[in-house]
Structure 1
Amino acid sequence: MKRTRNFARHPFGLIMMLVSLNSVATFVLEPVAHAQVSGDWIPTSSLNTPRYGLTATLLANGKVLVAGGYNTGFLNSAELYDPATGTWSITGSLNTPRYVHTATLLANGKVLVVGGYNGGFLNSAELYDPATGTWSITGSLNTPRYGPTATLLANGKVLVVGGDNSGSSAELYDPATGTWSVTGSLNTPRYYGLTATLLANGKVLVAAGFTGFYSGYCPCIDFVSNNAEIYDPATGTWSVTGNLKTPRGLHTATLLPNGKVLAAGGTDGTLIDIGEYVPFSSAELYDPATGNWSLTASLNTARNSHTATLLSNGKVLAAAGYYTDTAELYDPSTGVWSFTASLSTPGSGHTATLLQNGQVLVAGDDSAELYDPTAEGTLPTLPLIIGAPVLPDAEVGVTYSAPLVSGGHPPYTVNNVKGVFPQGLGDTLASGALSGTPASSRSKSFTIQITDDLGSSVTGTFTVKIFRALENTTRALKAGINGRAYKITLKAAGGKKPYNWSLASGNLPTGLTLNGLTGAIAGTPVESGTFDLTFHVTDPVGGIAETALTLTIK
């Protein structure tokens, strides 16, 4: 069926695009081969009612509750999957048909379903009781939300954030009272395509997403954010944390066993056509200890609107996405993605649920299948293709990763044919990417031969420009006088222009403002005193420099 605008704007309605790269290279294209890989997909019975835009929740008894969605109309039906028999059974229907809602398993074993869409944005919520197989209405959201996130906090409450119509608002559900209360607002409005991840310290990381609300279509490249923020349940407030290296929405975010968060794939909002977003393959890691993001190896397949599941063995399974049936595994110990067996059906808007037996149930549309990490599967291997010859810019001291090859079957073996790798970037190449932290600033060209695990090889020449480290060169701020016009421009050197300035801590005197694009502090101060200020300057490559300065107004 042709999906309308409302469906296309969310993960299940986005179309993948094959991005071709132009490069000067020598190709040795082997016939498509079949590689033996770890993990395989097992057929299981199909849903009783085909649906997408659904939710799937693992219950305490090991069964999976699937609820709502869309199939020629908005659905209120629900069904249960029993891993012991591999079959689906009908259970009680929702009171309200809904699609692109959330479903959260509460500490008492019930399931809270919130918001969604059925021709209008919904603020209603209801509870599923596995003991009776029935739904009951509970308190309504303060703000209707379509496509929000819902996170179960350590205190048993549920934090709901984002969704069309939500702005920057956030609210909490208390299972003890069945009511919602408004909590601190986000610093940046996020409407859809965001992620919310419960960290090991009990705080919640919300990352990027689309930051605009549209009544029609637009070139959305300017409406996807790269910022992130942290919610602290103890105070009910949000604080800004480090920016992602890449603006992204419709990505996945997975808490790893080491406490870091893996953000993978997504889109920068670039439209191919109505509701069709260009996917990308980059991935990065958030470290709660430092509040910073660092690049890790890219996915082998560009994807958005996919699923990511932490397996029992500590690896992350990324599956499907619009118009792709591929799947791959991320190993946190090596920082490398490797292909695993492909699903039988491509698509997005499906769900992925880790079962108690370690298998993963993927369900959506009219199909369902199981991923078994312990099985052995086969994978048709795509031809090995060298990457674009001009690599993205780099900067001394800034974590870097750029793909050198696509296709084939990793891991890759890289042999240097001519030239030398940039200092700090040539140590880990098995992922097929040039990655690391540059240590010297100069342009570098090198020719390499890359061979995959099946013996196919390609040769290509690459160039990367490395900027010197960004630094703030303003050493002091001139003094000002209360009531008199004041202006000074902060200066920086190195990095890649344009720069962006921000006030990281402290407050400017009333009457003065900072222009983030020019670094100018200007205005007429109307208060006297000594002001301790910390400024950040950033650049498009990811460089950041900090300086602490004191401003005196007499």
Structure 2
Amino acid sequence: MATTRHSFSTTLLTNGRVLVAGGIDDAGVSLKGAELYDPDTQTFSPVSPMAFARTGHTATMLRDGRVLFAGGPTPNLEVFTLFDDGGGAFTPAGALSAPRSWHTATVLDDGRVLLVGGDSSKRACELFDPSDAGVQACASTNTAHQYGAATPVTLPSGARQVVVAGGSSGSVEFYDVANDQWIPGQGKYPEGTINFGQVVQLFDGGLLMPGAGTVFNGSRVGVYDLKATSLFTIPHPYDVQRTVQTGGQSILEPNGNLVLVAGGSADINCGVFTTSDIMELTTGPFSETQLMNAPSGTGIDSAREFHGAVLLPTNDLLVVGGQRRWGWAAPSPNTCVPTLWAQSDAWLVDLMDGRQKFTASPALPVGRAHHTTTLLADGRLWLAGGATGSVAVASTTLLAPRTLAATLGPSLTAARARHTATVLTDGRVLLAGGIDATGARQASAELFDPMSGMTTATGALNTARSDHAATLLPDGRVLVTGGWDGTTAFRSAEVYDPKAGTFTLLPTLLPAARFGHSVVVLPDGRLFVVGGQQTSSAPRHGAYIDPVTLVATPEAASTQMGADHAFAGVAFSAGRVFVAGGTNASGAAVSTVDIFTVATESWSSASLNGGIREGASAVRLLNDRLLVSGGSSGKASLIDPWRLVVTTPITNNGIHDFGTSTLLPDGTIFVAGGESFATSADLYEEGRAPVEAARPTLSGPATVIAGGTATFSGTKLTGLVEGSGGGTLSSPTNYPLMSLETAGGQRVAAQVLRWTPTSVTVQIPARLIGQAWVRATVSAIPSLALPVRVLRPAGASCALNSDCAGALVCTLGTCTAAATDGGTDGGISDGGVDGGSGGGAGG
């Protein structure tokens, strides 16, 4: 961060960024300033400051994406402030009946915010209504709860209430929203006062209450039995020198484990904090399973308290700032005087490190390499063509959703390998070029209709080619680039018009001839051509293609990759293009990854741990890491797109050189085929392992309009539980972050406009067209992806009548109200998304 701070708020915004606001700096001054953390670049940037300095305040995500700031110990802080990420500004909105600090703010099921506790005399309860910024008094609590914690709970009866625990009294009580009544709980913490305690409802319904505050000689974890309405404690499994201290945070992982980001370790002689621990407790016997380390491998570098900790949608834990205690002095045997420093550093903790795994999938009925794998809208996988041994085949295989049970698919009109498969805007799949059963390059192309289950021939390429790339353009046409005829590499490109069923030749589009390359869609819509091979050399410079004008410009001569990469695994994540493995101009395997940073248009390199990667495939995981499969070692590499390092390799069950890798709707990766183990298939799990009962669901429209709004129905869109410690500085993330996965693997965030527990309304990005998959992520738990078809509004580019919304038709490449071209274009209503990465040929 730009500013040292502790006792601040940390809020995950619906666009994935994190807002850090207020707090106290190293000089002890309360802060007005705020910063935004961008997870793609892992950088902080300032935003306009608040009108008032705040610390000990709450920052609560409302159900329209605004953040409500309430309270703090300085004057004038009965005033609410709202932060709107759309404008990036803080604005006043209503007021509390009186100032309060170190209170709790809890979002109720109806969207109102319950404010409880605060300064030691605060038993007053208030409700903030976001619809009009009005504040209404509610029944006072039975005891004061300054430094307490609160969370919504589901009782065994199914009733919903809010539990408030700890604080100055150490007591527990429940708020009955419908009757505006506080119901005392039974028992209390045995230590009495538990300042800065936490309360978390687990996925199984139990309440876990990590204690803190005055307890130095072994922190305790309270377990509240909702059925017996009693509170009892068990000792924390750590020894007395590792306890949960003041200002710690509790976060519930998707797998049901509880992560405690502790305030430090304590020496009971003088309370010296020496390290900060991130401890993980299982939800069954509440026993510790492991000590989680920060990326450096040694834990967070300095102890801290009153820090921020927020669970990102990638299931990474962002730990930021806080207060460090160090240099304690003891003027007399019974006193200790600390030196306190506010911190500005941030740590990203991978909570899934070491949990990744491959499991064997049922063997493919037909072995194949250099094939294509396409995810269809109904969740099936279609494996088409490829080579068995060295001979191209015309067979295809369909795999059922979830079970991956195999059935025979329709035969292709021609045997083909090293071809491309591209999902058109109407859901049909275009297969083009490749090598035929005799080993000759072919110009033929065909269409697969998932609805009828049939393949039919379409217009041929102008030039027979294999090892080319095919990319869906924003107007619904398909751009085929490069390739070769077995002797000569091509600069040429061809554009497929799905309405006419023909290809148009662009003889010299590419600045340099290449085959075995990839094309990546950048965030600004440009196409980036990268990697590949020429007839006797390999191009290390990329090229940009404007998707509208189809004009290509070479990458700057001063920048280039550090190695050759033909038939490489290529994928985009965190603002960078990764080109992994492959072969060089001499045909030797490559064991490095080159990384292109889009913002600076510069290259860097890293080693691919785990061996060479010829015939590699790469896919972006839901946690934004990249999985690179292929090569002769039988191991896959995992690339961290932020630190630009490759982690310890993971062993496959098969070797998948020139195989395919496909992201499935449930977030797993299907890796199939290859030259060495042609019938083998593996499923890769990133290690999130969410509790299925807590997974959000989506349903809703089959079609949406680019640039318009769409409302999806669902369940658990505000989480099965809140999932955080419920204290003043806690950062719950139980609200939906939405994304769309497009053809070719481009992942685009959708702006969330508003939500309830059972619905979410989003703005659809304007550039999208055709088949996509929409996904909600709540508290780092992803929903199954829902297939949607993105239609174009009036005035937008199109290729088919079925690309256009409502009664619009596609006239001369534009959606218009006048049906001047007549007739239909043969499109179908549903389809799928290309499962490949980078738009290259199959293998």
TM-score (norm: length of structure 1): 0.53
- Which amino acid in the other structure matches residue 92 of structure 2? I
User: 2:282 aligned with 1:331, yes or no?
Assistant: yes
Give the CA deviation at 1:166. 4.6
Q: Is the 8 A contact 1:67 1:76 kept in 2?
A: yes
Q: Is the 8 A contact 1:279 1:304 kept in 2?
A: no
- Which amino acid in the other structure matches residue 152 of structure 1? V
Name 1:181's counterpart in structure 2: 136
C-alpha distance in 1 between matches for 2:76 and 2:225: 35
1:232-251 equivalences under 5 Å are 232-246=176-190, 247=192, 248-251=194-197
User: 2:253 aligned with 1:311, yes or no?
Assistant: yes
C-alpha distance in 1 between matches for 2:217 and 2:245: 5
C-alpha distance in 1 between matches for 2:218 and 2:163: 22
Q: Is the 8 A contact 1:121 1:145 kept in 2?
A: no
Q: Is the 8 A contact 2:251 2:260 kept in 1?
A: yes
Give the CA deviation at 1:294. 3.3
Cα pair distance change 1:279/1:197, threshold 3 Å? farther
Q: Is the 8 A contact 2:101 2:118 kept in 1?
A: yes
Name 1:260's counterpart in structure 2: 206
1:2-81 equivalences under 5 Å are 47-71=1-25, 72=27, 73-81=29-37
Name 1:359's counterpart in structure 2: 316
1:321-470 equivalences under 5 Å are 321-322=263-264, 323=273, 324-340=275-291, 341=293, 342-364=299-321, 365-376=343-354
C-alpha distance in 1 between matches for 2:40 and 2:186: 44
Name 1:203's counterpart in structure 2: 161
- Which amino acid in the other structure matches residue 316 of structure 1? L
C-alpha distance in 2 between matches for 1:278 and 1:333: 26
Instruction: Flag as ranges the 4+ runs of structure 1 deviating above 6 A.
Output: none
Of 135, 145, 148 in structure 1, the residue corresponding to residue 103 of structure 2 is 148
Name 2:113's counterpart in structure 1: 158
TM-score (norm: length of structure 2): 0.35
SS in 2 for 1:117: coil
Give the CA deviation at 1:286. 1.6
Cα pair distance change 1:229/1:134, threshold 3 Å? same
C-alpha distance in 2 between matches for 1:311 and 1:175: 29
Q: Is the 8 A contact 1:56 1:65 kept in 2?
A: yes
Name 2:58's counterpart in structure 1: 102
Name 1:496's counterpart in structure 2: none
- Which amino acid in the other structure matches residue 161 of structure 1? V
- Rg larger for: 2
SS in 2 for 1:199: strand
Name 2:502's counterpart in structure 1: none
What per-residue deviation string (whole Å, max 9, x for no partner) do you get for residues 19-51 of structure 1? xxxxxxxxxxxxxxxxxxxxxxxxxxxx11111
Q: Is the 8 A contact 2:243 2:262 kept in 1?
A: no
Give the CA deviation at 1:121. 7.2
C-alpha distance in 1 between matches for 2:320 and 2:147: 20
- Which amino acid in the other structure matches residue 195 of structure 2? G
C-alpha distance in 2 between matches for 1:230 and 1:156: 18
Name 1:88's counterpart in structure 2: 44
C-alpha distance in 1 between matches for 2:281 and 2:234: 10
Give the CA deviation at 1:320. 2.6
Name 1:283's counterpart in structure 2: 221
Give the CA deviation at 1:252. 1.8
- Which amino acid in the other structure matches residue 132 of structure 2? T
User: 2:173 aligned with 1:229, yes or no?
Assistant: yes
What per-residue deviation string (whole Å, max 9, x for no partner) do you get for residues 266-323 of structure 1? 13x4xxxxxxx63632112123233222334514122222111111221111123142
User: 2:75 aligned with 1:131, yes or no?
Assistant: no
C-alpha distance in 2 between matches for 1:317 and 1:78: 26
Give the CA deviation at 1:108. 0.7
What per-residue deviation string (whole Å, max 9, x for no partner) do you get for residues 60-118 of structure 1? 11111111111132111111111122111112211111111000000111000001023
Q: Is the 8 A contact 1:153 1:202 kept in 2?
A: no
Name 2:147's counterpart in structure 1: 193
Cα pair distance change 1:279/1:177, threshold 3 Å? farther
CA RMSD of aligned residues (A): 1.8
- Which amino acid in the other structure matches residue 83 of structure 1? P
Q: Is the 8 A contact 2:244 2:260 kept in 1?
A: no
Give the CA deviation at 1:172. 0.6
- Which amino acid in the other structure matches residue 317 of structure 1? V
Name 1:442's counterpart in structure 2: none
Q: Is the 8 A contact 1:170 1:183 kept in 2?
A: yes
SS in 1 for 2:243: coil
C-alpha distance in 2 between matches for 1:166 and 1:61: 38
C-alpha distance in 1 between matches for 2:16 and 2:41: 12
Q: Is the 8 A contact 2:211 2:220 kept in 1?
A: yes
C-alpha distance in 2 between matches for 1:82 and 1:299: 36
Q: Is the 8 A contact 2:171 2:189 kept in 1?
A: no
Give the CA deviation at 1:208. 1.9
Q: Is the 8 A contact 1:144 1:166 kept in 2?
A: no
C-alpha distance in 2 between matches for 1:173 and 1:104: 11
- Which amino acid in the other structure matches residue 74 of structure 1? S
What per-residue deviation string (whole Å, max 9, x for no partner) do you get for residues 385-412 of structure 1? xxxxxxxxxxxxxxxxxxxxxxxxxxxx
What per-residue deviation string (whole Å, max 9, x for no partner) do you get for residues 234-291 of structure 1? 1111010112342222222222111212111313x4xxxxxxx636321121232332
Further displaced range: 176-185 or 236-245: 236-245
C-alpha distance in 1 between matches for 2:132 and 2:177: 18
SS in 2 for 1:196: strand
C-alpha distance in 1 between matches for 2:4 and 2:112: 32
What per-residue deviation string (whole Å, max 9, x for no partner) do you get for residues 112-140 of structure 1? 0001023x472121000011101110111
